[in-house]
């Protein structure tokens, strides 16, 4: 994580500015060692705490805290970023400016990856989680990923993806698969994306049953086409207080006996808000319960069966869905922490 020479005053200014943006309660100090900026007091920036499955005490992890207790570094080049996310141990990684990467790059456990300001961009590639855990990805814009922008798989757990913007990935914006668990996707802006979110990678992946527990709340699905999410096998998947606007193919689909609760959302100009009993494409039917949603110039949400209650795992409160067309676009995405 080497970077251009910089004065101590400039380093302190940059870290303090980021801390203020995040509502930090402590003033960060920093020093530069071998060209890498570290926080002297080792205090993590305040990123808030997740609601939903990423907050649950399970699998030996009590909620999702990211890089708490570790060093804080600032990165603004490809090499610095790749070194930081591959470092063993807790770390808060502050991302400045645009960083170009390729493919999907692995992220080790116990990391907070946090964009500084409103112009931190990951371009051309994305992040992959393979048996990783306790990671926060926040305040980044992902552009032009040549595969998935965020791929959460292979038994990864306690991942919180919050306040990011997704633009033009070649495949999915976020994919969750292969027995991943305890995931929260919150306050993200899916800006005209095609395959926004896949949960469960294939109809043959029956080992995902009992896993893929995911909370999806306060996201802005803005003219995005499909998969908000498309779910196979996972239960419960909790989709609440999201704003769906002009989603051409469909909003949410529950297939292959998945269990999805669609609750307190606002659907505007969405011809097919939900698929479940009829399955979707070549995938068999899933279970879906809807309640308290608002449908404006939209079709009917297809329901089927019963779903395990997310409230058995965590507490949550619902916003009035009538407010979502105002509050979600104003608050979702990078630059809106």
Which residues have a catalytic role annotated?
227
Which residue in this structure is represented by tokens 């552009």?
143
Task: Please check whether residue 126 is in contact with residue 106, taking contact to mean a CB–CB distance below 8 angstroms.
Answer: no
Tally of CA atoms within 13 A in the half-sphere of 239 that contains its CB: 33
**Is 87 exposed, middle or buried (CB count within 10 Å of its CB: 0-12, 13-18, 19+)?**
middle
Nearest to 199 by CA among 170, 236, 167: 236
Task: Tell me the three state secondary structure of residue 144.
Answer: coil
Q: How far apart are CA 314 and CA 189, in angstroms?
A: 24
Number of helices followed by number of strands (H, E) in the chain? 3, 29
Which residue in this structure is represented by tokens 């779903």?
307
User: What is the helix, strand, coil percentage profile of the chain, to 5?
Assistant: 10, 40, 50
Whole-number Cα distances in Å, 124 to 141, 149, 150, 198, 286 = 11, 9, 12, 20, 34
Task: Tell me the three state secondary structure of residue 251.
Answer: coil
Whole-number Cα distances in Å, 100 to 35, 53, 120, 126 = 20, 31, 11, 10
Q: How far apart are CA 200 and CA 203, in angstroms?
A: 8
**Is 33 exposed, middle or buried (CB count within 10 Å of its CB: 0-12, 13-18, 19+)?**
exposed
Task: Tell me the three state secondary structure of residue 66.
Answer: coil
């Amino acid at each position: 994580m080497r970077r251009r020479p910089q004065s101590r005053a400039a380093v302190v200014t940059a870290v303090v500015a980021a801390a203020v943006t995040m509502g930090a309660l402590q003033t960060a100090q920093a020093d530069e060692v071998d060209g890498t900026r570290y926080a002297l007091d080792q205090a993590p920036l305040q990123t808030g705490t997740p609601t939903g499955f990423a907050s649950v005490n399970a699998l030996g992890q009590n909620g999702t805290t990211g890089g708490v207790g570790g060093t804080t570094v600032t990165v603004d080049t490809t090499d610095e970023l790749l070194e930081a996310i591959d470092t063993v141990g807790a770390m808060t990684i502050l991302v400045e400016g645009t960083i170009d990467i390729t493919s999907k790059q692995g992220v080790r456990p116990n990391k907070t990856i946090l964009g500084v300001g409103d112009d931190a961009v990951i371009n051309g590639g994305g992040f992959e989680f393979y048996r990783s855990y306790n990671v926060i990805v926040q305040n980044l814009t992902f552009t032009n990923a040549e595969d998935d922008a965020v791929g959460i798989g292979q038994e990864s757990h306690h991942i919180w993806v919050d306040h990011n913007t997704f633009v033009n990935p070649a495949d999915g914006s976020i994919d969750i698969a292969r027995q991943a668990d305890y995931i929260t996707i919150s306050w993200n802006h899916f800006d005209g994306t095609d395959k926004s979110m896949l949960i469960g990678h294939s109809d043959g992946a029956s080992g995902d049953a009992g896993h893929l527990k995911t909370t999806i709340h306060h996201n802005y699905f803005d003219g995005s086409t499909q998969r908000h999410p498309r779910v196979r096998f996972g239960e419960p998947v909790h989709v609440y207080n999201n704003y769906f606007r002009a989603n051409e193919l469909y909003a949410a689909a529950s297939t292959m006996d998945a269990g999805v609760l669609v609750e307190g959302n606002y659907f505007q100009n969405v011809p097919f808000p939900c698929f479940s009993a009829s399955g979707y494409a070549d995938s068999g039917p899933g279970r879906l319960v809807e309640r308290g949603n608002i449908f404006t110039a939209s079709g009917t949400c297809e329901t089927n069966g019963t779903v395990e209650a997310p409230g058995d795992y965590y507490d949550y409160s619902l916003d009035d869905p009538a407010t979502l067309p105002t509050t979600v676009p104003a608050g979702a995405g990078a630059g809106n922490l």
